[in-house]
Amino acid sequence: MIKDKELLLKYRSKKSVDYYDPTEPCPCCGYITLESRGENLVCPVCFWEDEFANDLDIDNSEYLDGPNHMTLREAKLNFKKTGAMRHDLLSYVIHPEDRDKIFFIGG
């Protein structure tokens, strides 16, 4: 699994992604894109870096000093508006037309 954003950017720029078997939903976009929670894995759909082990930790957090530099609430709103947790990351995420191959549970 791709664990840091720099590496993910490298893979995405080459249009290839390291193989992994996701089983967990991203807390930001709701797509099943993470192998586990709380290990700073980066979602290829929205680019959220998941540093918390469960959603309760995130939903109750206004923590801005983490890797995402915004709250989960802000990231969710941005994802709904732009298709990425931040508009400037839109070129690095999986294009909306290609997301139909990824299981979605809601976000």
On the CB side of 33, how many CA atoms lie within 13 Å of its CA? 30
Q: pLDDT grade, residue 19 (50/70/90)?
A: low
Position 2 scores a pLDDT of: 47
Domain coordinates in residue numbering, the chain: 5-101
What are the pLDDT digits (tens) for 42-101? 999 999 999 875 665 555 556 666 788 888 888 999 999 999 999 999 999 998 888 887
pTM of the model: 0.73
Give one word for 101, left, alpha or beta, with left for phi > 0 and alpha for psi -120 to 50.
Answer: alpha
Confidence (pLDDT) at 6: 60
